Chain A
Amino acid sequence: QKEVEQDPGPLSVPEGAIVSLNCTYSNSAFQYFMWYRQYSRKGPELLMYTYSSGNKEDGRFTAQVDKSSKYISLFIRDSQPSDSATYLCAMSVASGTYKYIFGTGTRLKVLA
């Protein structure tokens, strides 16, 4: 069993839809959770990070962590074609560590 599981997609939605992207994990020691966006043939760029449980909002993006269920989510409101990319979740056991464990990524297509 992988430490971090993520549905590879692709996930296709119409422009303006609310998108929900999810990851589950097995290591209860994970405390620091991140979402990266990766456009085709580019490097991952950090979108959001959260520490421990709860929600964090940044513009159209909301990151949610449910440690009791070992489940994290990224919501994108009013999705745009420019949001079409692969979204990678990543986690580590603490915010000061460097070993990130990545999910395989979910490919998202937002249709105009």
Chain B
Amino acid sequence: NAGVMQNPRHLVRRRGQEARLRCSPMKGHSHVYWYRQLPEEGLKFMVYLQKENIIDESGMPKERFSAEFPKEGPSILRIQQVVRGDSAAYFCASSPSMGDTQYFGPGTRLTVL
């Protein structure tokens, strides 16, 4: 009964590199949400996806950030040309349908040097 899986758990990138964060939802869940958690701040909603569709990306920066949830495989949050301010914990959550309780993964801690 695996929960939400995220990898890698820790990711170190130099400024200007790309970061790819992966999320596999719980079995039977087709709705995925990405959040960012900065030190001393709460979780901030970034994007909500269903299989092959972006439903709401209102919390995601317009530049350098993108997300996808293909028909097969995990959801991916991609950050291009990372900057130090991107250093944070990125959490993925999933639910069986929109509005259902969201279950969180363990997070990916991104450090940008």
Contact = CB atoms under 8 A, between A and B. Distances in A.
Interface string B97-109: 0110111111101
Contact of B43 (A44, A46, A97): A44
Interface in B71-113: 91, 95, 98-99, 101-107, 109
Q: Is the interface of B mostly helix, strand, loop or mixed?
A: strand
B102 A100 contact: yes
A59 interface: no
Q: Give the interface residue-count category, chain A.
A: 20 to 34
Interface string B1-37: 0001010000000000000000000000001010000
B33 A43 contact: no
Given A98-B33, A98-B95, A46 B42 contact: no
B10 to A, nearest CB: 10
Given A8-B40, A43-B4, A104-B40, A99 B91 contact: no
Interface size class of B (residues with CB under 8 A): 20 to 34
A43 B40 contact: no
B74 to A, nearest CB: 16
A67 to B, nearest CB: 20
A98 B31 CA distance: 10
B48 interface: yes
8 contacts: A42-B107, A43-B4, A43-B106, A88-B42, A98-B31, A98-B102, A99-B56, A102-B42
Interface of A: 4, 6, 8, 36, 41-46, 49, 88, 90, 94-105
